[in-house]
Amino acid sequence: MAKRTDKIKLGAFLHATGGHVAGWRHPDAQADAGTNIAHQVELARTAERGLFDLIFFADSNATWESGVEADRRTAWFALFEPLTLLSALAMATQRIGLVATMTTTYNEPYHVARLFASLDHISNGRAGWNLVTSSNFAEAFNYSRSAHVPHEDRYERAREFAAIVLGLWDSWDDDAFVRDKASGVYFDPAKGRALNHKGKHFQVRGPLNLARPPQGHPVIVQAGQSDTGRELAAETAEMIFTIQQEMPAAQAFYADVKARVVRHGRKAEHVKIMPGLVPIVGRSEAEARAKADALGALIHPSVAVAVMSQMATGGFDLSPYDIDAPIPDIPEAVGPQGHQKVLLGVARKENLTIRQLAMRMATGHGHFTVTGSPAQVADVMEEWFVSGACDGFNVKPTHLPGGLNDFVDLVVPELQRRGLFRTGYEGPTLRDNLGLPRPKRHQD
């Protein structure tokens, strides 16, 4: 295989009790993981021991409503608020990046700018913001709305939102806060500015009441799959999480987004594309298959269909349909349209029934799953990496802590042996380790 001069980037996607919908039922899983801080500290330190670039927490400001039978069998309710959690984990780690989701649909730019700037200071430059529009329609009901914001409106708001946050992070020069006891000067007003933004969705004066973040800007992460989402990512993102099921589609996504990045006047290498990966690893292929089968036996069909209804159909309820029938025609998603296109495209291509797609999605919420020995998992990762399908992977262990331990102890050494992954962190900040430049302050 051809060689790249860079190394694979790795994120640890720590989805409460694991990426597998029944991961919480695994005999070795921490069933109360979503609200167990000691467990979360253990996971963060394990990922740092494995030299991961970052840990990542998704989030939603509402419960996922899937019907009583499905809801009572899932572990997606009791979860820490991620910025609070990451602030605690910053004190328990030293080098690993700390990335969390915060929606632009039901938040205010000043609030988000201050939260992530604070996390960047607390962690000495390891914060990242996963900039998303809300895919959970139920969030609207917690924010004084009777219906979810339409897709295009969400992205229009997100674009303005992101510009404001970046502007607020640039409120001050890096040396504005002199804190000179002898002269009695705490800061230099000439080295700051008010944003004075007035747009369609927001009016924000500024400045931010916090010194410029250590990284200049916390790293911007985005996860848009649709055409609108890709364009927003090309404008603003420095890392992109994506759902891809097949390498040719991943290569096409990679080439498309990198070309968009260049059209926006940015360097392609300053945006890292990282598809989700669900690894089921054993010391042999047979052991890995046995692990996968054991997890599969724990999935309740109603839960699998509920996950599919949320992720692949944007909330279209498939529970009334025959689970062993072909997937019916689905209207355009209110939620994540890109996910719908990818997942339903695979289902149509392979003629999958509702049950077959639902069970596949239950393994990793639609992310690409690889089952095998350390060498087999590394083979797939290497092929995708050197073939222009990705810059790394957002690794989503099936259950925790076991799935993460398996990857760190078995796959990471194999990647290092092949020269594909670091043997030590490049620097103290998330930007250092991702190979991203520190942005200069933009001044009007």
**Domain boundaries defined on the chain:** 9-284+367-434
Domain covering 9-284+367-434 assigned CATH 3.40.470.10 in the classification: no
Dihedral sign computed on CA atoms, order 419, 425, 427, 433 = positive
Higher pLDDT, 66 or 427: 427
pLDDT exceeds 60 at position 22: yes
**Half-sphere exposure (CA, 13 Å, Cβ side) for 31?**
5
Q: Which residues contact 272 (CB under 8 A, 6 or more apart)?
A: 9, 238, 239, 240, 391, 392, 434, 436
pLDDT exceeds 60 at position 362: yes
Model-level pTM?
0.88
Higher pLDDT, 1 or 262: 262
pLDDT digits (tens, 9 = 90+) for 334-348: 445 555 666 666 667
In this predicted structure, what is the pLDDT of residue 311? 60
Q: Please provide the size of the chain in residues.
A: 444
In this predicted structure, what is the pLDDT of residue 114? 98
- Beta strands in 87-245, from DSSP E residues, in sequence order: 97-103, 127-132, 197-198, 203-204, 219-222, 239-242
In this predicted structure, what is the pLDDT of residue 170? 97
Q: What's the average model confidence in pLDDT over 141-152?
A: 84
- Token pair 């990198």 is found at 258
pLDDT digits (tens, 9 = 90+) for 169-211: 999 999 999 999 999 999 999 999 999 999 999 999 999 999 9
In this predicted structure, what is the pLDDT of residue 68? 40
pLDDT exceeds 50 at position 69: no
Separation CA 38–CA 403 (nearest Å)? 17
